[in-house]
Amino acid sequence: MAREFQRGHKARISDLTAGTDLYVGVQISGPGLTFDISCFGLDADERLSDDRYFIFYNQPKSPEESVQLLGAQAGDTESFRVTLDRIPQQIRKLSFTATLDGAGQMSQVGPGYIRIVAGGEEVARYPFSGSEFSTERAVMLGDFYFKDVWRFAAVGQGFDGGLDALLKNFGGEVAEDEPAAAPPQQPAAGGAAPGFAPPAQAAAPPAFGAPGGGPAPVPAPAPPAPVPQPAAPGFTPPPAPAPAAPPVHTAPTIVAPLHTPPGGSPVPPPAPAPAPFGQPGQQPPYGQPAPPPGYGQPPAPQAPPGYGQPAPPPGYGHQPPPGQPPAPQAPYGAPQGAPHGAPQGAPQGPGVLGALQQFKETPTGQRWTQQNKKLVRADLGIGGQPVLARQGSMVLYQGKVDFSYKGAGFSGRIVGNATGQEMQLMRCTGQGQVFFAENSTMLHPIELQGDAVCVSAENVLAFDEGLQYEVRRIEGHGIPGGALFTMQFQGTGTIVVKTHGVPVVLPVTPTTFADCNAVVAWSAASQVVVSSQVRMRRNSYPGDTGESVNLQFRGAPGNFIVVQPYEI
Amino acid sequence: MNQPLAGFAPAPVTARMENHGNHMLKVAMQTGNDLLARVGSMVAYEGFVQYEPNPPAVRQIAKDWLTGEGAPLMKCSGDGLLYLADYGANVVVINLNGDGISVNATNLLAFDAHLTWGVERVKGLAKFAGQGLWNTKISGQGWVALTSRGKPIVVDCGGGDDETYVDPDALVAWSPNLKVKGKRSFRAQSLIGRGSGEAYQMAFSGQGIVVVQPSEDSTDRLRVRG
């Protein structure tokens, strides 16, 4: 069965399939509407720096054919073949988009999807429908992006302008005097002059749209030429939607997105590469005031405007000479360049501000923002509901925030009595931003959208008060203290979970076990069983392995558990 | 055998102070350009470097620190490469370049000896947190290295009258021109043992920045050893 993605979900491709030769199918349709479905190959700055990686009906493949447009087949309006391991270094993101050709708006779109098929089996599917959009003319459906490994993100973000605005957003160029539907790309490879603008149907690449001269890109035939693929599922166009169950161990795991703004408001467009600070931006983020943080990780800290305006920087002077450290009274202390002009990503700028630039607060317009791996910021003004947090976890706040005691409630007191460790909470109310951190543990904001998650009580740092939570008790022989207490959270909101060290997220399979001291959280749909390993021969050896009581998890594929490398 | 470790060899020196990884500081020492570092922070050195604990100059300036156990700074002089660390804390290197910064005593790792510096008690907050909050104000042309438990965050105070409140245990450093106040968020409830756990904060206002660490562990590991 294919993994169903929701908007904002992300997953490693390797969790979805072992293959790297993928088929990406897009199905989008609406009464009387035609669509251009294209793929943008973007660089690390999310710019279309190379026109040859804009794959659309007039340029159906990239130079080394790592991305190919295949046309309509197997129930898909448009399909692509993506060979991840042949994508060149400079391309770090593939953004699949659908644009309206002609009149209409995205709200008229019927149910559609973007899906990934590997080896003839559908491994991921992100379904969407027109009700998620309004007057947009384009939509970014999903991204393949490279962060350590290739990952897939279900974006589902509308875009006001048409294809040309989208192209501009990615830093591409649109020649003038062309209708919006036909961005006259100048493909460097083929020297293609778009002689034919509107595609007859978005579904089929116009065969006669091929340019006149040179090694022009020709629409690939639907079944792609077989390419030798070492040790990967063979590439075959998928059969018409015939779900096939993937082996349970490759069932992907999805943790809720970190950076989708709550409330279902349209996600602002992925940040165009932040303009070097101090320079006029090359391209303002389209229609949005603040560039959102990138995927998963906050981007390189970015100075909010107005930061450090006073303190006129000393004029550009000596730069520290590389090489040997300077001689005594040498220029290492001499006035150097203006700290505020230090470009983004410069590892070190002179002056206090320059040196600390990399640790700047991440700008945000969201309720919960991860500032870095160990710090989370909650903006109480957004959403208007109080935050409950572990006592003493506030490290800093701005604005009028009141901290008050929050009793654990009746059941909490029972827990407290039973375990001697009551969950000590405080309620943060008011208007302002509160930064939470505790003991340098890694923090993971998990956004719940109606689903439920169980978190071991020691690992809860903070959560929205609007979430319903209850204490659950897992009893079993051999658990220290007689029972394990967890908190089950349900509803819509964010919960921040802390882990000591980098956790592992495991899919729940028939044989998933975890140490009850190291398990942090699990999706509430999975069932927990205490399993004690009782072996007849165990006692015949001196000593115990110390690993006799484990929790076993059972559940449908798609459930997950989170385990930290630390046993409390 | 060395292959997996080869990636950790020191990078060529490009400045007086540099990070080696996130948690170690590398200082290029030179005669005549002394360094003041926390006692016990040296983890390795290469070359000819001498250490002088409790130097007279420090004793002069840091009179307040002298509570019988000596100043927690040592003077390092000589030529070579000096590696400093504080029990795995993140190290932040700052080239002051004429700016000034106030650093919490436990978060100071090292600084150039020729910088202008002084020790002061945080006004209105002394002994508040039970640890006695001393801070070192450093300014001039030179380098300073701070430590932070976890990657720090830098928050702009905004410049207006709005105050930014910081848990004193998480505070690392701040701009010296900020106004500092102690704030007790005492309420009737907290007096009867039901506090929110955030009983006192430091309030900063004015134009400048505050550096905060993602941990409320402010124990001075270097001093514990004595």
ipTM of the complex: 0.81
Domain span including residue B71: 12-217
CB contact B50 to A (< 8 Å): no
Nearest CA-CA partner of B40 in B67, B16, B65, B71: B71
Give a yes or no: residue B136 inside a domain.
yes
CB B78 within 8 A of CB B48: yes
Task: Give me the domains of chain A, ranges plus CATH numbers.
Answer: 3-222+230-252 (2.60.60.30), 368-563 (3.60.160.10)
**Exposed, middle or buried, A380 (CB in 10 Å: 0-12/13-18/19+)?**
buried
Of A332, A397, A398, the CB nearest to B15: A332
Nearest CA-CA partner of A294 in A319, A264, A273: A273
Residues in CB range of A127: below 8 A, 6 or more apart: A4, A111, A112, A113
Sign of CA dihedral A214, A217, A220, A224: positive
Other Cβ atoms closer than 10 A to A12: 14
Give a yes or no: residue B118 inside a domain.
yes
Give a yes or no: residue B7 inside a domain.
no
Give a yes or no: residue B225 inside a domain.
no
Q: How many residues make up chain A in this entry?
A: 568
Considering only CB atoms, which chain B residues are within 8 Å of A328? 30-33
CB contact A355 to B (< 8 Å): yes
Q: Tokens 């590997």 label which residue?
A: A118
CA distance A68 to A60: 6
Give a yes or no: residue B2 inside a domain.
no
Considering only CB atoms, which chain B residues are within 8 Å of A350? 95, 97
Q: Tokens 């998650």 label which residue?
A: A453
Give a yes or no: residue B3 inside a domain.
no
Residues in CB range of A488: below 8 A, 6 or more apart: A452, A453, A454, A455, A469, A470, A471, A472, A524
Considering only CB atoms, which chain A residues are within 8 Å of B140? 333
CB A100 within 8 A of CB A77: no
What is the end-to-end Cα distance of chain B in Å, rounded? 37
Q: Nearest-CA distance from A332 to chain B in Å?
A: 7
Cα B110–B220–B126 angle (5° rounding)? 95
Give a yes or no: residue B115 inside a domain.
yes
Rounded to an integer, what is the distance from CA A566 to the centroid of its chain?
Answer: 26
CATH assignment at residue B45: 3.60.160.10
| Record: contact B142-A320, CB cut-off 8 A | no
CA distance B18 to B26: 5
Task: Give DSSP secondary structure letters for B139-159.
Answer: ESSSEEEEEESSS-EEEE--S
| Record: contact B154-A356, CB cut-off 8 A | yes
Residues in CB range of A200: below 8 A, 6 or more apart: A206
Other Cβ atoms closer than 10 A to A108: 15
How many domains are contained in chain B? Answer: 1
CB contact A375 to B (< 8 Å): yes
Kindly give the confidence (pLDDT) of every residue in chain A, 568 residues in length, as a single tens digit, with 9 standing for 90 and above: 567 888 778 888 887 887 888 888 888 888 778 888 888 888 888 888 777 888 887 888 888 888 888 888 878 888 888 888 888 888 888 888 888 877 778 888 888 888 888 877 888 888 888 777 777 888 888 888 888 888 888 888 777 777 777 777 777 665 544 343 333 343 333 333 333 333 333 333 333 333 333 343 444 443 444 444 444 444 444 444 444 444 444 444 444 444 433 444 443 444 444 444 434 434 444 444 444 443 444 444 444 444 433 433 333 334 444 444 433 333 333 333 333 333 333 345 677 888 888 888 877 678 888 888 889 999 888 888 889 888 888 888 888 888 877 765 555 554 555 454 456 788 888 888 899 998 889 999 988 888 889 888 888 899 998 888 887 777 766 666 556 778 889 999 899 999 988 899 888 888 888 887 788 898 888 888 877 665 545 455 555 555 556 788 888 888 888 988 877 6
Give, as one character, the DSSP assignment of residue A7.
T
What are the tens digits of pLDDT across the range A258-290? 443 344 444 344 444 444 443 443 444 444 444
Q: Report H helices in A453-537.
A: none
Q: Which residues numbered 146-185 in B keep a CB inside 8 Å of some CB on A?
A: 149-156, 158, 162-167, 170, 175, 185
Question: Is the entire prediction scored with pTM above 0.80?
Answer: no
Q: Which residues pair with A401 in a beta bridge?
A: A430
Give, as one character, the DSSP assignment of residue A499.
E
Q: Which residues numbered 312-341 in A keep a CB inside 8 Å of some CB on B?
A: 314, 320, 322-328, 332-336, 339
Give a yes or no: residue B1 inside a domain.
no
